Amino acid sequence: MQLIDGKSLAKTIKAEIAIEVKQLIASGGKTPHLAAILVGDNPASAVYVRNKVRSCDQVGFHSTLVRKEASITQEELLEVVKELNENPDIDGYIVQLPLPKHIDEEAINLAIAPEKDVDGFHPMNIGRMALGLETYLPATPFGMVQMLDRYNIETSGKHCVVIGRSNIVGTPMSLLMSRKMKTGNCTVTLTHSRTKDLAAEVRRADIIVAAIGMPNFVTADMVKEGAVILDVGINRVEDTSRKRGYRLVGDVDFENVAPKSSFITPVPGGVGPMTVTSLLMNTLKACRKEVYK
Ligand code: GUN
């Protein structure tokens, strides 16, 4: 069993991005600039956004955090989106999700200029991904593809089972893994809450992507010997031995599954740290106008 160390890989990739930024600026290019809109005071969202801004500093990007009260109206938020669309210094931006219930996330997503949509959530970019065109890949699937690539994990001809069909993880990951490219060429099964005998489907997998949001959902009896395990889950479970009263676990029963696997991502320190790296790579692409020329 080999651990896929997302924390360390993210550090390596950030160092590579920092070098590219220096070269870009030395050759007369502009400094990449990422903006983030954070609405309300969801503590998890605040942590994620702070982490994204800190990562920008680490690689030499400019960043702008736009904070708005949870009471902001949809029209007011659309106005903020419009301003970022029109600001030539901002290369890309994200609207941190979830948004307050009175705001229609889809309406906001549709208003983001596709060329600045570094989250890769706009239908134009998802469509481009489905067609295999140059695009901004969504952060979590992109991070996992990077992991498979950098650890030289063979995917061609393998059977990949994705658990969970969310718009931002399961569905795009199932598309990417089936694409005709180095990290792709898998036969993909996308499983979800209506899948009959999910355990039997997962047992057939050479590569398992667990993105269901349930602690320890994938147990050892569901895993074939030698499978590759990518665990997207970040679940809080009560732990009174910790000062904060909880610990983070993935969707995979790591302790019992790890010995059966060939490669496995830990939680924390696996897929999570790679998502920010993806966002930085997309922002660099936006700055260089590599997708929309
Ligand atoms: N909330 C959880 N994950 C994400 C993400 O990747 N992007 C944004 N904008 N919000 C999120």
Residues 145 and 239 in one domain: yes
pLDDT value at residue 158: 98
Residues 109 and 146 in one domain: no
Residues 164 and 66 in one domain: no
> With contact defined as beta carbons under 8 Å apart, do 4 and 263 qualify?
yes
Q: Is 13 part of a structural domain of the chain?
A: no
Q: How many domains does the chain have?
A: 2
Cβ of 94 less than 6 Å from ligand 1 = yes
Distance CA 113, CA 285 (A): 15
Distance in Å from the first CA to the final CA of the chain: 43
Q: Is 20 part of a structural domain of the chain?
A: no
Compute the 3-state secondary structure of the chain and give helix, strand, coil in percent, each to the nearest 5.
Answer: 40, 15, 40
Residues 70 and 149 in one domain: no
Indicate which CATH number applies to the domain containing 64. Answer: 3.40.50.10860
Cβ of 191 less than 6 Å from ligand 1 = no
pLDDT value at residue 228: 99
Cβ of 96 less than 6 Å from ligand 1 = yes
pLDDT value at residue 124: 98
pLDDT value at residue 115: 98
Residues 103 and 150 in one domain: no
Q: What is the pLDDT of residues 167-200, one digit of tens each?
A: 999 999 999 999 999 999 999 999 999 999 999 9
Segments of the chain scoring below 70 in pLDDT: none
Q: Is 202 part of a structural domain of the chain?
A: yes
The per-residue DSSP string of 131-152 comes to: HT-S----HHHHHHHHHHHHTT
Indicate which CATH number applies to the domain containing 204. Answer: 3.40.50.720
Range of the domain at 59: 28-114
pLDDT value at residue 195: 98
> With contact defined as beta carbons under 8 Å apart, do 36 and 65 qualify?
yes
Query: Nearest residue CA, atom 9 of ligand 1?
Result: 96
Query: Nearest residue CA, atom 2 of ligand 1?
Result: 97
Catalytic site residue 52?
Answer: yes
Q: What is the average pLDDT value for the chain, to the nearest integer?
A: 97
Q: Is 188 part of a structural domain of the chain?
A: yes
Residues 187 and 255 in one domain: yes
Ligand 1 pocket check: which of 119, 140, 173, 279 to mutate, most ligand atoms within 8 Å of Cβ? 119
Q: Is 54 part of a structural domain of the chain?
A: yes
pLDDT value at residue 243: 95
Q: State the closest ligand 1 atom to the C-alpha of 36, by its place in the atom list counted from 1.
A: 9
Q: Which of 61, 81, 114 is the last residue of a domain?
A: 114
**What amino acid is encoded at 165 in this protein?**
R
Residues 146 and 56 in one domain: no
CA of 97 to the centre of ligand 1 (A): 5
Q: Is 14 part of a structural domain of the chain?
A: no
Q: Is 119 part of a structural domain of the chain?
A: no
CA of 16 to the centre of ligand 1 (A): 24
pLDDT value at residue 38: 98
pLDDT value at residue 181: 93
Residues 157 and 241 in one domain: yes
Catalytic site residue 182?
Answer: no
Catalytic site residue 119?
Answer: yes
Residues 39 and 92 in one domain: yes
Cβ of 97 less than 6 Å from ligand 1 = yes
Q: Is the peptide bond before 268 cis (omega within 30 degrees of 0)?
A: yes
Residues 71 and 147 in one domain: no
Residues 143 and 229 in one domain: yes
> With contact defined as beta carbons under 8 Å apart, do 163 and 203 qualify?
no
Cβ of 276 less than 6 Å from ligand 1 = no
Cβ of 137 less than 6 Å from ligand 1 = no
Nearest to 66 by CA among 35, 92, 107: 35
Residues 145 and 234 in one domain: yes
Q: Is 179 part of a structural domain of the chain?
A: yes
pLDDT value at residue 241: 96
